[in-house]
Structure 1
Amino acid sequence: MRTARFIGSWLAGLLSLSTAALLFVLWLRFVLGSAEDTPIVLLLLIGVGLNLMVWSLIGLIRLVDEWVHKLLGRDPSTLLPRKEAPLPAGARIRDEDKRVTRARSDSGRRRRRGDLTPVLNPDTGQFEIPKVNTDPETISLAVIIPAHNEEPVIDGAIRSALRLFDRWDIYVVSDSSKDATAEIAAQTGVNVLELLTNRGKAGAIEAVIQEFDLIENYDGVVILDADTELHEDYVKGVRDQLRDPTVAAVAGFVVAEWKPQQRTVIGRLISAYRDRLYWLLQYMLRFGQTWRFTSVTFIVPGFASTYRTSVLKHLEINPKGLVIEDFNMTFEVHHKKLGRISMRPDTKAYSQDPFTLRDYKSQVRRWSLGFWQTVRRHGIWPSLFWFSLFFYILEVVLVAAMLLVTALIFVFVLPPALFGDAVLAVDWYADGYTAVTSMLPLSTVAVGLFVPDYILTCVIAMVRRRPSYLFYGLFFLPLRLLDSYLTLLTIPQAWTAKSDGRWKSPERVSIKS
Structure 2
Amino acid sequence: MEPWTILVIGLLVLGISTPFWSFAGLLRVVGEWQNRSSPRQLSRTQESPIDPGEVAVLIAAHNEELVIAETIASALTLVPPENIHVISDGSTDSTAAKAMAAGVKCLELSPNRGKAGALKAGIEHFELADRFEVVLLLDADTRLAPDYLHTGLQLFKDPEVVAVAGRAKSLPERGRQGLAARILLGYRERLYAAVQLLIKYGQASRPANVVNIVPGFASMYRARILPSLDVEARGLLIEDFNMTFEVHAKRLGRIEFHPQAAVAYTQDPDNLAEYTRQVRRWTLGFWQTVRRHGLHVGRFWAMLALHITELVCASLVLLLCLPVLLISEMTEFVLLRPVDLLIGVVLPDYLLTVFAACSLRRPSLLLVGLVFPLLRLLDAGICMVTLVQAWTRKTSGVWVSPTRRLQHT
Residue among 379, 388, 405 paired with 2:294 = 379
Structure 2 residues not aligned, in runs of 5+: 38-47
Instruction: Answer yes or no: is 1:508 the counterpart of 2:404.
Output: yes
Is 1:267 equivalent to 2:163 in the alignment? Answer: no
Residues 397-429 of structure 1: CA distance to partner in whole angstroms, max 9, x if unpaired?
011101110132345556xxxxxxxxxxxxxx4
- Larger radius of gyration between Structure 1 and Structure 2: 1
Residue in structure 1 matched with residue 275 of structure 2 by the alignment: 360
Secondary structure at the aligned position of 1:223 is classed as strand
Partner of 1:461: 357
Q: 1:505 to 1:292 in 2, by over 3 A?
A: same
Contact 1:156 1:510 in 2 (8 A): no
> Are the structure 2 counterparts of residues 381 and 54 from structure 1 closer, same or farther at C-alpha, using a change threshold of 3 Å?
same
For 1:139 and 1:43, how far apart are their aligned partners in 2? 52
Aligned to 1:64: 30
Q: Is 1:303 aligned to residue 269 of structure 2?
A: no
How far 1:262 moved relative to its partner? Answer: 5.7
Deviation readout 1:365-391 (Å, 9 max, x if unpaired): 111111111111111211100111111
Q: Does 1:471 align with 2:385?
A: no
CA separation of 1:264/1:502 partners in 2, compared to 1, >3 Å: closer, same or farther?
farther
1:331-365 CA distances to partner (integer Å, 9 max, x unpaired)? 00000000010001221100110122111111111
Let me know the Cα RMSD of the aligned residues.
1.7
Residue equivalent to 1:146: 60
What corresponds to 2:320 in structure 1?
405
1:226 and 1:142 map into 2 onto residues whose CA distance is 15
Asked if residue 481 in structure 1 is aligned to residue 374 in structure 2, the reply is no
- 1:244/1:435 Cα in 2 relative to 1: closer, same or farther (>3 Å)? same
Q: How does 1:230-245 map to 2 (within 5 A)?
A: 230-245=144-159
- Alpha-carbon separation, structure 1, partners of 2:76 and 2:348: 43
Q: Give the AA of the match of 2:362.
A: R
Write the distance in 2 (CA, Å) between the matches of 1:168 and 1:206: 19
Q: Is the 8 A contact 2:230 2:246 kept in 1?
A: yes
Match of 1:440 in 2: 336
Q: 1:139 touches 1:219 (CA, 8 Å); kept in 2?
A: no
Alignment of 1:20-169 (within 5 A): 36=2, 39-70=5-36, 135-137=49-51, 140-169=54-83
Q: Is 1:449 matched up with 2:345?
A: yes
How many Å separate the matches in 1 of 2:309 and 2:182? 31
Report the TM-score, using the length of structure 2 for normalisation. Answer: 0.93
Output the CA distance in 2 between the equivalents of 1:478 and 1:244: 42
Aligned position for 1:322: 236
- For residues 216-246 of structure 1, what are the alpha-carbon distances to aligned partners after superposition, in whole Å with 9 as ceiling and x for unaligned? 1100100011110101111012211111110
Task: Say whether the 8 Å CA contact 2:295–2:305 is kept in structure 1.
Answer: no
Cα distance, 1:295 vs structure 2? 0.5
8 Å Cα contact 2:65-2:93 kept in structure 1: yes
Tell me which residue corresponds to 1:114: none
SS in 1 for 2:216: coil
For the 8 Å contact 1:247–1:342, the answer to whether it is kept is: yes
Figure out how many residues of one structure are paired with residues of the other and give that number.
Answer: 398
Question: Does residue 166 of structure 2 align to residue 252 of structure 1?
Answer: yes
**What residue in structure 2 maps to residue 370 of structure 1?**
285
Q: Provide closer, same or farther for how the CA distance between residues 385 and 170 of structure 1 changes in structure 2, counting only shifts above 3 A.
A: same
Residue 456 of structure 1, CA deviation: 2.0
Query: How big is the shift at 1:138?
Result: 7.0
Secondary structure at the counterpart of residue 59 of structure 2: strand
- C-alpha distance in 1 between matches for 2:88 and 2:225: 25
% identical equivalent positions: 43
Residue type of the alignment partner of 2:15: G
Letter in 2 for 1:353: D
SS of the aligned residue for 2:286 comes to helix
One-letter amino acid matched to 1:382:
V
Residue of structure 2 in register with 1:290 after alignment? 204
Aligned to 1:496: 392
Q: Distance in 2 between matches of 1:43 and 1:260?
A: 39
Cross-structure match for 1:28: none
For residue 17 of structure 2, what is the amino acid of its counterpart? N
Change (3 A) 1:412 1:466: farther
Distance of aligned partners of 1:157 and 1:263 in 2 relative to their CA distance in 1, 3 Å threshold: farther
Distance 2:207 2:343 in 1: 38
Given the alignment of the two structures, is residue 184 of structure 1 paired with residue 98 of structure 2, yes or no? yes
Note the C-alpha offset of 1:70: 3.5
1:450, distance to aligned residue in structure 2 (A): 1.0
Residue 219 (structure 1) aligns with: 133
Q: For 2:348 and 2:251, locate their aligned partners in 1 and report how far apart those are by CA, in whole Å.
A: 39
Q: Does 1:349 align with 2:264?
A: yes
The one-letter amino acid of 1:343's match is F
Asked if residue 313 in structure 1 is aligned to residue 279 in structure 2, the reply is no
Query: Which amino acid in 1 is paired with 2:305?
Result: F
1:447 Cα shift?
3.1
Call closer, same or farther: CA 1:177–1:137 in 2, change over 3 Å.
Answer: closer
Q: CA deviation at 1:264?
A: 2.9
Q: Structure 1: how far apart are the matches of 2:36 and 2:193? A: 25
CA distance in 2, matches of 1:180, 1:275: 31
Q: Secondary structure at the match of 1:320?
A: coil
Once residues 510 and 317 of structure 1 are traced to their aligned partners in structure 2, the CA distance between those partners, rounded to angstroms, is 30
Q: Is the 8 A contact 1:228 1:352 kept in 2?
A: yes
Q: Which amino acid aligns with 1:357?
A: L
Deviations 1:427-457 (A, max 9, x none): xx4xx2x202xx4222221332212211221
Q: Which amino acid aligns with 1:140?
A: E
Instruction: Report the secondary structure of 1:198's partner residue.
Output: coil
Judging changes above 3 Å, is the alpha-carbon distance between structure 1 residues 508 and 413 closer, same or farther for their aligned structure 2 residues? farther
1:132-189 Cα shifts (integer Å, max 9, x gaps): xx83347710001111111111111111111111111001111111111111111111
